[in-house]
Amino acid sequence: MNVLEKYYNTFYKKIAEIDAKGNTFSKIENFLPELPENAKVLDIGCGFGSVSHELVKRGFDVYGIELNEDAKAELKVKGIKVLENDISKTFAKIVERFDLILLLDILEHIFDPLFLIKEACSVLNNDGQMIISVPLYFDLIDRFRILFTGSIISYDNICYGRELYNKFRSYNYDHIRFFRPKEIFEMCTALGLIIQKYQYSPFCGTGVITKVLRKILVNKYTLNIAPGLFAHGMMVRVKK
């Protein structure tokens, strides 16, 4: 087991378990394209399959790539076929071709996100589509946090509980890429992908000031006008 595999099977394991409870099919339900009957789907970095399991129930042929050993065991129980492939390496050994590929909150964890998107495209059918979601780290609230605390660790990770959140340090934090919206579009455009749909999610927080700012400043218009300031996440659907 290499260093990366050890990380995702030790420290990150608890995070993955909590994510599995919070991440559900509703995350992509309104973003799904129309898929052919018996479509093949690949969920890259799929965790415990909490999002893509619903696609199995709907009769689709679902595959997953995951490092966590406990997660892989559960994927098989859920009917998700596990592909053994290092996502930092070429996908040349993957013979299947997919109608839909999911890259949900994975690009921020890897060293070469452009390479991963490119490799995902290589196993995408000619008329296939891909859904990409990423957190955005330079919204108004995070800018204040970086300014006054010097920390890049987003407060939304409090969802893992205060004890686990307090263990995050720069040397064990799982996010190593910090995107702005235009950079996601740039990567897709560079690979010749057609952007079909995108949406932003607003900055979040539990404090009174955050809630007031969100109520006053954030709506569907301001999110699209200034996503770099008001959005904390984005989702994009692209076509090959």
In this predicted structure, the answer to whether residue 216 has a pLDDT above a threshold of 80 is: no
Q: Looking at 52-61, 82-91, 120-129, 222-231, which range is the least confident one?
A: 222-231
Q: Looking at 27-41, 64-78, 205-219, which range is the least confident one?
A: 205-219
Q: Using CA atoms, how far apart are residues 143 and 101, in angstroms rounded to an integer?
A: 32
Element (H, E) at 61: strand 61-65
Q: Using CA atoms, how far apart are residues 173 and 166, in angstroms rounded to an integer?
A: 11
Q: Using CA atoms, how far apart are residues 11 and 231, in angstroms rounded to an integer?
A: 28
Helix (H, G, I), strand (E, B) or coil at 185: helix
In 3D space, the residue among 103, 139, 57 whose CA is nearest the CA of residue 235 turns out to be 103
For 167, the token pair is: 């263990």
Residues 49 and 76: beta-carbon distance below 8 Å = no
Predicted confidence (pLDDT) per residue in 94-104, tens digit: 999 999 999 99
Q: Which residues touch 216 (CB under 8 Å, ≥6 apart)?
A: none
pTM over 0.85: yes
Predicted confidence (pLDDT) per residue in 137-186, tens digit: 888 888 888 888 888 888 778 878 888 888 888 888 889 999 999 999 99
Domains and CATH numbers, the chain: 3-136+161-201+231-239 (3.40.50.150)
With bands split at pLDDT 50, 70 and 90, how would you rate the model's confidence at 213? confident
With bands split at pLDDT 50, 70 and 90, how would you rate the model's confidence at 218? confident
Helix (H, G, I), strand (E, B) or coil at 2: coil
Q: Looking at 4-18, 78-92, 101-115, which range is the least confident one?
A: 4-18
